[in-house]
Amino acid sequence: MKIAVLVSGRGSNLQALIKNLHGFDVEIVGVVSDNEDAPALKHARTADIPTASFAEASYDGREARDLAIADWLDENQAELVVLAGYMALLSDSFVARFRDRIINVHPSLLPAFPGTRAVEMAVAAGVKVFGVTVHLVDEGIDTGPILLQRAVELDGYSDPTEIHQILQKIEHELLPEGVRLMADGAVSRDPANPQRLIIER
Ligand code: GAR
């Protein structure tokens, strides 16, 4: 399967995808960022993967920027769009164009703590069990059907940076696993409850 990865920052999840999947059954055909200075783009270039950046300021609004991204993804024949630390909200028309072909990794046990600063919110709420979710993207903020989740008990931890580092190790396993399931055609919606995904491993 040909996939594209959208990034905004450091790119450790992108590195996990390159290391675990790229060149096997999955080909990363492009890496796109909303931030031309994202360190993640360097990881892509090192792996000889085409890159493009689309700063919102260069377009007449987010809708126009997302249309340009979508056209680039189609030109590069991306079948699945993987959000790996992509921190901009995608427009509804982008989500509709790639319906059920966008997945995201998020550092909380959704539906708890959607949006940015999930780990900080979890710490502020005093939770003792943290976790990671890989989910399909719909028009809401981190509301799409859940593909994979893994929890970790971190009783007594209160430093968001330390917690996030622990969660990222989980992300680096869970996101490639989610992509592999999508590439294998193992994921479908439960007809009785379309918010629930059925996975046939
Ligand atoms: C990841 O931890 C990911 O879960 C988070 O951004 C980080 C990117 O790290 N995404 C969100 O919070 C999305 N709401 P990376 O650039 O090292 O892969």
Cα separation of 188 and 175, whole Å? 17
Distance 106 CA to ligand 1 centre (A): 6
pTM for the structure as a whole: 0.97
For the packed helices 39-46 and 12-20, what is the interaxial angle rounded to 10 degrees? 20
pLDDT digits (tens, 9 = 90+) for 89-120: 999 999 999 999 999 999 999 999 999 999 99
Q: What is the pLDDT of residue 25?
A: 87
Ligand 1 centroid to residue 122 C-alpha, Å: 15
**Pocket test residue of 7, 13, 135 for ligand 1, highest count of atoms within 8 A of CB:** 13
pLDDT-flagged residues of the chain (< 50): none
Q: What is the pLDDT of residue 48?
A: 98
- Report the pocket of ligand 1 as residue ranges, CB < 6 Å: 9-13, 40, 84-85, 105-107, 116, 118, 168, 171
Range of the domain at 37: 2-199
Q: What is the CATH number of the domain that holds 151?
A: 3.40.50.170
Q: Do the beta carbons of residue 149 and residue 171 sit within 8 Å? A: no
Residue 66 alpha carbon to ligand 1 centre in Å: 20
Protein residue whose Cα sits closest to atom 1 of ligand 1:
85
Q: Annotated active-site positions, please?
A: 106
pLDDT of residue 103: 98
Could you give phi then psi for residue 140, rounded to 5 degrees?
Answer: -85, 180
Domain count, the chain: 1
